[in-house]
Amino acid sequence: MAKKKQNTDKYLAQNRKARFNYAIAETFEAGLSLTGTEIKSVRSGQITIGDGFVTIHDGNAMLTNVNIASYEQGNQFNVDPIRSRQLLLHKHEIATLSKAASEAGVTIVPLKVYLKHGFAKVLIGIGRGKKKYDKREDIKRRDQERELRRRLKN
């Protein structure tokens, strides 16, 4: 019997505002370095990435300002919910992120958190902040597409 492919369409957390606030140029898949109680909280969906961002310190990519709720049965093994967590990336990927982050107006944001083969993964994107008129154009384009789909349906 063949193994079933694991479906990664189910995300544990998703940053919906990231694509609205930033023009995402490039994405990377990174592993998360978590403790035992943190991975249990992540698997139960107790993670929020809305305010998160990625920083580069001493050749390491760190996921900052992401809240992983304390595991209820974790007692003394629980850690600070908002601590910085290391992202597991290759050196050339970290170099690319570091170069991009040094530019003005560029932010590295987490887009999605999901499980892949039992490991927690984060999809991060290099984003340049959008101006107000860019956001208005996106809203107008989305409304036009919705209206077009509605007309084609009828």
Q: Is the pLDDT of residue 147 over 70?
A: yes
Cα 130 from chain centroid (whole Å): 18
Q: How many domains does the chain have?
A: 1
In-domain check, residue 63 = yes
Is the residue at 1 inside a domain? no
Is 152 in contact with 128 (CB distance < 8 Å)?
Answer: no
The domain containing residue 84 runs over which residues?
Answer: 13-153
Residue 90 located in a structural domain: yes
User: pLDDT over 90 for what percent of the chain?
Assistant: 45
User: Is 24 among the domain residues?
Assistant: yes
In a domain, 58, yes or no: yes
Supply the CATH number for residue 105's domain.
2.40.280.10
Note whether residue 35 is domain-resident: yes
* Secondary structure (DSSP) of 76-138: GG---TT--EEEE--HHHHHHHHHHHTSTTEEEEEEEEEEETTEEEEEEEEEEEPPHHHHHHH
Q: Each residue of 76-109: pLDDT tens digit?
A: 767 777 889 999 999 999 999 999 989 888 999 9
Is 96 inside a domain boundary? Answer: yes
- Check if the beta carbon of residue 97 is closer than 8 Å to that of residue 28: yes
The reply to whether 141 falls in a domain is yes
